[in-house]
Amino acid sequence: MPVDFMKLFWQHHTLATGENFETSFWVAAEGAGLKRWRKGQPVAAKGLRLLIGLAAYSRDEIKLAQDIANIVALQPGMTIEFFSLQDIQNQADFDNYIPAMGDATPMRFVSTPVVGLWEDGVLIQVSQSGLALQMVRRLTCG
């Protein structure tokens, strides 16, 4: 049975468990087959790659991760990876994850989630906030 991220989310937000939800979420996510990407790791040179930066404190973003976990095996032509926004200290850090989101471009990070789409190793689209949610759902759920 797949992990229920929303149940885990609400347990951590309603109980004084003493655990860090961010840590529990990433352990559960990796156990459910979601890939966590960290700066310095290779980027897929072939095919489509979707990189999603999410905030583990956001119910909507945890719901998105749950939806993707339920269908990730059905996306054989696409690499879907996540990164934690807790790894971001400032705008310039986005260049390590989604280059078009850094200080050198007109698009600046203002809202989560943030998403980058690569094709054959080349970044072709970036988005954030509600538009990013729509983009991810369009690419993963049809």
Residue 12 φ/ψ, nearest 5 degrees: -75, -25
**Interatomic CA distance for residues 60 and 1, integer angstroms:** 22
Residue 18 has what pLDDT? 45
User: What percent of the chain clears pLDDT 90, i.e. is strictly above it?
Assistant: 13
* Mean pLDDT, residues 20-26 taken together: 79
Q: Give the containing element (helix H, strand E) for 30.
A: helix 21-31
| Domains present along the chain, CATH in parentheses | 5-141 (3.40.30.10)
CB-hemisphere CA count at 13 Å for 34? 29
By C-alpha distance, which of 41, 6, 9 is closest to 22?
9
For the ranges 28-37, 62-71, 91-100, 113-122, the one whose mean pLDDT is highest:
113-122
What is the Cα–Cα distance from 136 to 10, expressed in whole angstroms? 23
